[in-house]
Homo-oligomer: A and B are copies of this chain.
């Protein structure tokens, strides 16, 4: 049974509307006069982080990836619960707590509780984090309301975390210290776009965060909304540092658009809607289905992998 088959079985028993059919990044439940937004993501050693990763970075990322899901719904984080599966290594655990403190302080979200278990020394460290937030807007955007004619936007620059991973793994290197530091930080210390998400949530027709790759995540909005999405590869915003390390040609742009771990926001809106944050239009929604790739008006073949597919 693949992960997809397993999730199909879970979907079959998930009938409450708050679960959004397990097709969104979060659950959303009216609570009194407010809306609760909830998400849970896991990270496993050897799968989501390398055994030699800095434990403080692992803790930061665990918080950041969950808050990024809240950001994509315009939700204000209320708190997090930590599930901590320990193995050996006191220093590892102490450094994790340090990184956890840095993240919750930086994002202003309290640690509320959780559970700690000893997993045995041969098991991979396994962590889960639940983030709970409050959506104040009238609309909590999902993936499913993009319309033909709507523009497709991203915040920030794309591909920096992928480039940082290439540096961390030794696959690429730069002699420029600032370039190296900037890209490594994008990989190890992503920043959820909480403020942008709150500003956008009542204005967009769909929104999600880019975790698995711009092209793959765009294809998910296309599928959920029943539209064709055209992405113009030439418009994908690349940082100066990405261009210094990886370049700006077709291959570099494909890497940026499929690398994932960006934790930028990907959203659609009517082109007339005034959106008062820095962002880049990378494409348009059309009648139809699926994803198409263009560059300077010319149709390109889709790459074999649109992003990071889970096993």
Contact = CB atoms under 8 A, between A and B. Distances in A.
Interface in A202-219: none
A48 B79 CA distance: 27
A148 interface: no
B113 A13 contact: no
A14 B111 contact: yes
Interface string A122-154: 111010101010100000000000000000000
A53 interface: no
Q: How many monomers of this protein are in the complex?
A: 2
Interface in A269-303: none
A93 to B, nearest CB: 5
A110 B40 contact: no
B32 A34 contact: yes
Given A79-B18, A79-B27, A39 B110 contact: no
A29 to B, nearest CB: 6
Interface stretch (A80-88, A188-196, A231-239, A255-263): A80-88
- Contact residue range for chain A? 35 or more
A55 B117 CA distance: 20
Nearest to A15: B110
A217 B290 CA distance: 56
A112 B20 CA distance: 8
Interface stretch (A97-105, A169-177, A241-249): A97-105
Contacts of A19: 79, 110-113
A132 B78 CA distance: 13
B40 A115 contact: yes
A130 B101 CA distance: 21
